[in-house]
Each structure stands twice: as structure tokens, then as C-alpha cells.
Amino acid sequence: MKKPVKKKRRPDRLARIMNPTVRFWTGVSLIPGFFLSSSLELLLLHCLVFAVAVVLAGKRIRVFYYAMMILSITLFHLLNPVGRVLWELGPVTLTAGALEQGLMKGFTLSGLVLLSLFSVTPDLRFPGRLGGMLARTMYYFEEILNGRGRLEVRNIIGSMDSVLMQALPPGDESVPETESGTRFRGTVLQFPVIILLEVLVWGPVVFFFFIVGL
């Protein structure tokens, strides 16, 4: 029995308006603002903004993955008591400092993954020979993906073999033509998106850090 390996992809709505390189550098420009989040509430707001951007990018947010990550990081931090004792039961002590540190770190790491999911796409092209190699690898990857429907779980090696023989014939010496740079420059609509993201991330940071003085 044949089983499809991958579900149908959701459309990347941002890819229709944003250039992949611009999108990548937008993501990079948001990292310092994210790191300057001084409170848990601000971190949560930033994570929410990034999560919306990820959904618009057509990528799935695996809630269980993030929940487990935040939970495990917080639990490990709770093993080293810091600050005011909130609750105590035998050898287990729940402290406010450790809880806050754990949650802050958990949300910081989750936010970074979300930000990365928004800003990095397979269409991103890097310059130079390594960039060319990566573009060639992506081309072959797409070729394999086209045949993934023929994979059979019960005969994984045999079915994988036939997909590979068709997608990447070993004797074929022709080097695929791949673009070293992307041609799509993005539309004017990418600018409001960039401005909105910058304002939502940097705005509260500037407000709390410089105006309120927190």
C-alpha cells in the first residue's frame, strides 16, 4: 500500500509579495529588538507577532514542540532555586526567580525558532560557489520531492531506490542550470509588511527602554 509521505503544503502568502533576501534580512534586523525584550509580557507579544508571520508564511506551528521546549527548559531551571520561594513540598522548591528565568529562556528560544521560520525560505540564495552548490542541491531536492508519492513504507529501500533512480540518475553528467540569485524582487506591498514588523518588535522595546526607562 502506498502512503503519501508529506501533506499538502500551505501557500506562502508572504512569498508572493516579499523577496526572499529582503525577508531574510528583515528577520535578522528583528533579532536585536527581540533580545532587548526586558519582560516576559514583551517576549510573549514578540512571539505572537512571529507566530502570525509564520502562519502567513504557510508554515505549520507545532504547538506541542514549543510547549515541550518551554516546559523542559523551565523544569531544568527550577532545579536550581533562585529568589523568593513560591511553593515547597518536601525536597521540591518552586522559586520565582528560577521560574521567571526558565520561562524567559524558553520563550526566547521559541521566538527565535519562529523568527527563523518566517525569515528563511528554500528560495533564499547565497552568493559564491557555496551558494551555487546549495542552489544545485535544492534543485535535486525538488526533483526527489516530486517522486515522494511513490514511497512505500513496507518497501522503503526499494521504493526509495526507484525514486532516486528517476530523480537523480547517477550516470547523468549534466549539471543542472540553477539561478545564483532570485529574480523576484518582491512587490511594493513588502514595505508595509516590513514596517509593521519593525514597529511591532522595536516599538515596544523603544517605548519601555528609552521612554519609560524600564
Partner 1 sequence: MYNERVLNRLAMLGALSLFLSTVEYLFPRPIPFMRLGLANLPVILYLDLLSSDSKDSTGTYFLLILIKVLGQGMVNGTMASYVFLFSLAGSFSSGLAMWLAWRYLRPNISFLGVSVLGALVSNMSQILLSIVFIFGPAAWRILPWFLGIGLGSGFFIGLFARSFAEKSRWWKALKDSALETA
Residue ranges that bind partner 1, judged by CB under 8 A: 5-6, 24, 27-28, 31, 59, 64-65, 68-69, 72-73, 76-77, 79-80, 105, 109, 112-113, 115-122, 124, 129-130, 133-134, 136-141, 143-145, 148, 157-158, 160-161, 164-165, 168-171, 173, 175
- Continuous segment of H or E residues that includes residue 196: helix 190-206
Angle between helices 96-119 and 63-78 (to 10 degrees): 150
The residues, ordered by sequence, that sit 6+ positions from 104 with a Cβ below 8 Å of its Cβ are 40, 43
C-alpha torsion sign, points 30, 35, 36, 42: positive
Residue whose C-alpha cell reads 504547538 in the numeric block: 63
We find the least distance from the C-beta atom of residue 38 to partner 1, in angstroms, to be: 20
We find the least distance from the C-beta atom of residue 125 to partner 1, in angstroms, to be: 10
Q: Which is nearer to partner 1, 3 or 183 (CB)?
A: 3
We find the least distance from the C-beta atom of residue 211 to partner 1, in angstroms, to be: 29
Q: Which is nearer to partner 1, 39 or 155 (CB)?
A: 155
C-alpha torsion sign, points 54, 27, 184, 188: positive
Q: Which amino acid is at 19?
A: N
Q: Which is nearer to partner 1, 151 or 200 (CB)?
A: 151
